[in-house]
Structure formats: structure tokens, C-alpha cells
Amino acid sequence: NDVQFVEASKMLAVRMQKEGGDSLDKQIKYGFRLATSRYPKEEEVKILKDLYNSQSQWFSSNKSEALKFLKVGNKQLEEGYLNSKTAALAMVANTLLNHDETYMKR
């Protein structure tokens, strides 16, 4: 994806953490709602949680890659968000931003 798209994903991931609540479920549901203007179905939440878990595991094992990914673009994140959780959530946010319902009205 373009640098701007990665930046948008990072910023959505931060917003999901700051405003979405104290659990991964709440954060994913909040991000989904921001992106699509509807609440996700439980199956959609499960898919996004599975994506988060696989990305979190990878970024936790590759911390330098997480940091490299989070430093892409001009918009830099606050120090507290330069971690594997934010990187994994940014991958979820990237998926949300690529969702048909995010950029197309039905």
C-alpha cells in the first residue's frame, strides 16, 4: 500500500486503542464502525481477531519490523504506541480500510 494508506492505518489503530475501549473486541468493533458506519457481525469480529492474533504473534517475534512499519510516513506516533500491539492493530485497520463497505455505498 501507499505510504498515506499505511499512515491512515496507523492512525486508525491508535484511535481504536485510545477511544475504542479496554478490550480487543471493543477496539475492533469501534474501528469497524468508524470505517463502515455499521456494527460488525460476530463472524467479522472473529476474523479480525484472528488476523490481529497472527499479526501480534509475528510482530512480537519481530519487534524491529514492528517499529520499522510504525515509522513509515511523515506522521509519527507517540512513543507509547510504538509497539507490536499497535502494529498488529494497524494491520487490522488496514484490512478495515480495504473493506468494500469502507469506500463504496450500497
Condensed to tens digits (0 to 9), the pLDDT of residues 72-97 reads 999 889 989 999 999 999 999 999 99
Determine the residue type at 48: L
Mean pLDDT computed over 15-27: 97
Residue the block writes with cell 509497539? 83
DSSP state of 40: P
Rounded Cα distance, 63 and 33, in Å: 29
Global pTM reads: 0.93
Q: Is pLDDT of 103 > 80?
A: no
CA 83 to chain centre: 12
Q: Is pLDDT of 19 > 90?
A: yes
